[in-house]
Amino acid sequence: MKKTLLLLVVLIAFTGCDNDPPDSVLLNVPYYEWERNGYCAIACIQMWAAYDHRYVAQSEIAASVGAFTTPSDIAMGVSEFTDSVGWLEWTEANSAYNQDLCIAYSIACVKDKVPSIMPFYGNHAVLSIGYQYHTDGAGTPIADNMTYHDPDPSQGANRNIIGPLLKERFQATNGLYWVVVGYRWHVNDGRDGYNAFLLAGGTYYGGPVNYHPETL
C-alpha cells in the first residue's frame, strides 16, 4: 500500500499540467529611491552595496563618482562600494543581437546571485535583481520577464517587465549599449549561453522566445 501511494505521488509530480509553474531567480536586494532627481545610478550603487551588507549614503557615493555619472563612473562606484569588481561591458548599437547580448550579460550576473545595472532610455539606470521563465508542455523554456528596482520613486521596487518591453527601454547611449555586471566572467557566461541559444534556433526575447536563463 505504501509503495502504491509513493508511486502515485511520483506520477502526479511528473505529469502535472501542460505548463510547469514559473521558475524564477529573485535577489533579496533592499530598495532605496533616489534622494535627488538624477541620482538613479547612485541609488543603484547604494542598493547593490546594501545587498552586500555595506551601508553607505548616497551623498558619499556622489562625492566619489560625481553627481552626473557616466557608465565608467558607475563601474568605478560598484567597484568601490560593493563586493564586486564592477565590470563595464559595451557593445555597438548596430543590431538587436548586441542589445540582446548585454541583456544576457545582466541575466548571467543575476543568475550568479549578483545584481547588475542596466540603462533605460539611454540616460536612466535601474538595478536588475531577477528574472522569471516557465517551461511549456513540450519542455521548451520560455522567458517571461525581468525584475528590477527603479530608483525613481514613481516607479519603485520589484518592477516586472516582459521581454519586448525590456528591449524597448534598454536603449543605446551615444551609439553603444552598456551594462555593469559584477565580474568579467558574467560577460563570458552570458555570451556563451546566448550563442548556444542562437545555434539552437532561438531569438532570445521576442519572437519565438525559446530561451532558458539557467543555461547562461
Q: What are the pLDDT digits (tens) for 88-124? A: 999 999 887 888 888 888 888 888 899 999 999 999 9
- The residues pairing with 178 across neighbouring beta strands, listed in sequence order, are 90
Number of domains, the chain: 1
Domain membership flag for residue 13: no
Give yes or no for a contact between 186 and 66, defined as CB atoms under 8 angstroms apart: no
Residue 203 lies in a domain: yes
With respect to residue 102, please indicate whether it lies within any of the assigned structural domains.
Answer: yes
Give the CA distances from residue 201 to residues 56, 68, 139, 205, in Å, rounded to whole numbers and listed in that order.
45, 41, 15, 13
Give the residue numbers spanning the domain of 164: 84-215
Classify residue 58: in a domain, yes or no: no
Residue 185 counted as domain residue: yes
Residue recorded with cell 521581454: 163
CA distances from 124 to 67, 120, 163 (A): 13, 5, 18
Q: Are 119 and 106 in contact, with CB atoms under 8 Å apart?
A: no
43 domain residue, yes or no: no
Between 207 and 87, name the one with better pLDDT: 87
> What was the pLDDT predicted at 7?
33
Residue 18 pLDDT more than 60? no
Higher confidence at residue 157 or residue 141? 157
Range in 32-41, 193-202, 207-216 with the lowest mean pLDDT: 207-216
Confidence band for 200, pLDDT divided at 50, 70 and 90: low
